[in-house]
Amino acid sequence: MALSKSRLKSLIVSEMKTQGATATGQYSWVNRMAEAIANAVVDEVQSNAEVPVTGGSSAGNYKVE
């Protein structure tokens, strides 16, 4: 499964609501903060993560997309 910024944002918003945050209203930062966190996490993982395959004809290191 590919990493999804929108899916991660939804999970963060859901978890923040579970913790008592309000995602609606003029002064709510829940959605903007969740989007910023999701974007940063996915960008970091996609730019730096590697998956080692140690055996078989596909042996090597592969970047996470």
Q: Provide the whole-model pTM.
A: 0.78
Question: pLDDT tens digits, residue range 4-46?
Answer: 999 999 999 999 999 999 999 999 999 999 999 999 999 999 8
Q: Are 26 and 19 in contact (CB under 8 A)?
A: no
CA distance 13 to 32: 10
Number of domains into which the chain is organized: 1
Judge contact between 9 and 38, C-beta under 8 A: yes
What stretches of the chain show up as alpha helix (H) in DSSP?
5-18, 30-48
- Which residues span the domain enclosing 32? 5-63
The 10 Å Cβ neighbour count of residue 4 is 12
Q: What is the CA radius of gyration of the chain?
A: 16
pLDDT beyond 90 at 63? no
